[in-house]
Chain A
Amino acid sequence: MSSPTSDLPRWVDVVVLPLCSLLLALLVAGLVARVAGFDPVQVLGLLVKGAFGSRVGIGYTLYYATTFVFTGLAVAVAFHCGLFNIGGEGQAMVGGLAVGLAALAWSAQLPAWLMLPVLVAAAMVGGMLWAAVPGALQAWRGSHVVITTIMFNFIASALLSYLLVNVLKEPGNMSPETRAFADSARLPGMHELLGALGIDWPRTPLNASVLLAALAVPAVHLLLRATRAGYALRAVGHASEAARYAGIAPARMVVAAMAVSGALAGMVGLNEIAGVHGRLLLDFVAGAGFAGIAVSLIGRNHPVGIVLAALLFGALYQGGAELAFELQGFSRDMVFVLQGLIVLFAGAMSPAVASWLARGLRLARRRQGAAASPEAARG
């Protein structure tokens, strides 16, 4: 993925480069919007207004950002171990499936204080399993994790669709959905939690998952930076052979990294299934796993960067949804175009962008030098 790019100064590499990539992506997306017959400036204005202009908008933005924090961290953890986990999509599906199964099985009997921790565990275990298998195949059988996680996405989608259509579907319901869970399996909404604290907050899909996402960020950071296991994980990602000489078993770290990555992706299932829908259904992941790749790329795999990137993407998704209402003929797919372009410029083309930047810097310096030298000659 984004390798240490070039001989640019560090501040350029860490701050300017991602911003330039983002700007390029915005420019090209703006061009597409123009070609599609919209005024890019108006679109951007409406987008920001839709995402941050009201408390409802902010609620939705944070709800989307919750999902992207989970999938972004998932990609980043695997990346730190030198793995590219494209399977966030499938891992989130299986996480949601596990949440759904646990809720259907026990929500009628268990009280919420017992049920909710079970659901969190189910989401994590589901995602973990779906990622650990490709991890193990990579570690011990040498199967490339990129390919196997892609395959696992399709297998997860087939599994979910089979179970929903043939086994779990609520009798009499036309669409493939399960019956609604009992109340104990519903994650409280933020409007309820804030209401209990006496703060008035409008009803949005934003739910307690956002608190878990807020916990996950420092937890992942500490895991990677302040624990032995995290050090071993990064050592394997950096130089697998050197790590082996240091007494670290790379195979085990690969499986562990994928397991943690999958557990994080699985939490998307909690946010969607227990937090919003209250029943298991199809297509609740809707590309969030792939969005995680963009989030972690633009966030440079750093927790703080990922939070910022997740907020950006949350705003894009919410703003895009609002725009689809406001502007006739505007499709939310415009957001996916921008997302793809961000992966293009911040990911695949980041060495290219870096070389453009370096050339620009050299040119600027030479010009400066040229401007300075006559004076030097005179003096």
Chain B
Amino acid sequence: MGETLVLADWAVQAGTLVASTLRLATPLILCALAGVLCERAGVIDLGLEGKMLMTAFTAASVGVLTGSAALALLAALAVGVALSMLHGYACVTHAGDQVVMGMALTMTAAGLTVVLAIAAFSLGGQTPPLPEAVRADRWFLGLAGALEEVPVLGPMLGVLIGQALLGHTGFVYLTLLLVPGVAWLLFRTRFGLRLRAAGENPAMVAAAGVSVARLRYQALALNGVLAALAGAFLVLAQNPAFMPHMTAGRGYMALAALIFGKWRPGAALAACLMFGFLDALAIRLQGAHLPQALGGGEVPVQAIQALPYVLTVVLLAGFIGRAVAPRALGVPFRGGHDR
């Protein structure tokens, strides 16, 4: 009996760690995919953080005010796409600076969400908790329950598979499906080929009679949808309500993951899972003590939190492989069909 208990404790730890890794990685994956799409088309997106924050606020307030999950999600998607269109108007149509645009979106969103939340709900910048009906359902709970019923192995399967992989919200599974989806779109369709060409050699695309501006707008629209899903996830699945600055730099971490993944969906997924795992680990080890062999003392959680950024810098410096950005990334395209 004692034996199984020890084993179970280890398994429970692993199960919860995998589960929280998945949950923490989901908004990162969505944002990284959003970034992959528009950066592959040649548009830098430093505004992911702002888009995610604005759409999270939209989903939360519409959810609270209407009590409808569908309306909350639709509103978030509309705001996400609208922000991306503004991004396109400034940077594709008028060749404005893409980096500055991202900063502008993020800075404005940080202030605007708080101002509007105070005006609408008077809760110091939060929204009220979302009603249960609006929150995303957890999937495969029945299967998880069935696993626990399995003789002998039941408890083990229950934590290692049931708790770790089942019973997440639909967002998590949809996100995991979107990774091959985006990869297929980018690398197996004509649209994807043209989109990538717009990011590598836009003059060639224009010479072939295809509008670079149109492609970049399309990429931005998809980017808005994905960023909105990430924002909606934060309030419909992860947190009970909108909080000021709740994205807490995740948009930038997704950017790091996309660079780490060398602008490829699959590799970006791996980076997001790694960063999500580090995040989960840091939360778990908060206040824990190092083993005596390592000198005791508290675990330097901040070091774990900083690791994704340090690793990205090391990668960018070319010390582990080489991250090569799309060649026309950040360069506005003037001429051809644009004007």
Contact = CB atoms under 8 A, between A and B. Distances in A.
Interface of A: 1-3, 32, 35-37, 84, 86, 134, 137, 141-144, 146-148, 150-152, 154-155, 158-159, 161-162, 165-166, 290, 293-294, 297, 329, 331, 333-341, 343-344, 347-352, 355
Grouping DSSP codes into helix (H, G, I), strand (E, B) and loop, the B interface class, with mixed when no group exceeds half, is helix
Contacts of B116: 32, 35-36
A144 B316 contact: yes
B252 A148 contact: no
Grouping DSSP codes into helix (H, G, I), strand (E, B) and loop, the A interface class, with mixed when no group exceeds half, is helix
A143 B317 contact: yes
22 contacts: A36-B116, A142-B318, A144-B316, A150-B46, A150-B255, A151-B312, A155-B306, A155-B313, A158-B302, A159-B306, A161-B302, A166-B300, A294-B107, A333-B115, A334-B111, A334-B115, A335-B111, A336-B111, A340-B110, A351-B90, A351-B95, A351-B96
B118 interface: yes
Given A35-B119, A166-B300, 18 more contacts: A1-B99, A141-B317, A143-B318, A144-B325, A147-B316, A150-B255, A151-B313, A152-B313, A155-B309, A159-B306, A329-B119, A333-B125, A334-B115, A336-B108, A343-B107, A347-B97, A348-B96, A348-B101
A148 B125 CA distance: 31
A337 B300 contact: no
Nearest to B307: A158
A353 B83 CA distance: 18
A120 B268 CA distance: 43
Residue from B46, B90, B108, B317 whose CB has the most chain A CB atoms within 10 Å? B108
B256 A297 contact: no
B191 interface: no
A138 B111 CA distance: 32
Contacts of B110: 333, 336, 340
Contacts of B316: 137, 141, 143-144, 147-148, 151
B93 A162 contact: no
Given A35-B119, A166-B300, A348 B104 contact: yes
A293 B256 CA distance: 21
Contacts of B109: 340
Contacts of B93: 352
Contacts of A158: 302-303, 305-306, 309
A335 B108 CA distance: 10
Contacts of B252: 150, 154
Nearest to A356: B94
B271 interface: no
Contacts of A148: 313, 316
Contact of A340 (B95, B97, B107, B255): B107
Contacts of B111: 333-340
B181 interface: no
A142 B244 CA distance: 36
B309 A84 contact: no
Contacts of B259: 147
B298 A340 contact: no
B270 interface: no
Contacts of A151: 256, 309-310, 312-313, 316
Interface in B89-135: 89-91, 93-101, 103-112, 114-116, 118-119, 122, 125
Contacts of A159: 302, 306
5 residue pairs, one from A and one from B, having the closest CB atoms: A340-B108, A336-B111, A340-B107, A348-B101, A158-B306
B90 A348 contact: yes
B249 interface: yes
A313 to B, nearest CB: 12
Interface in B254-297: 255-256, 259, 297
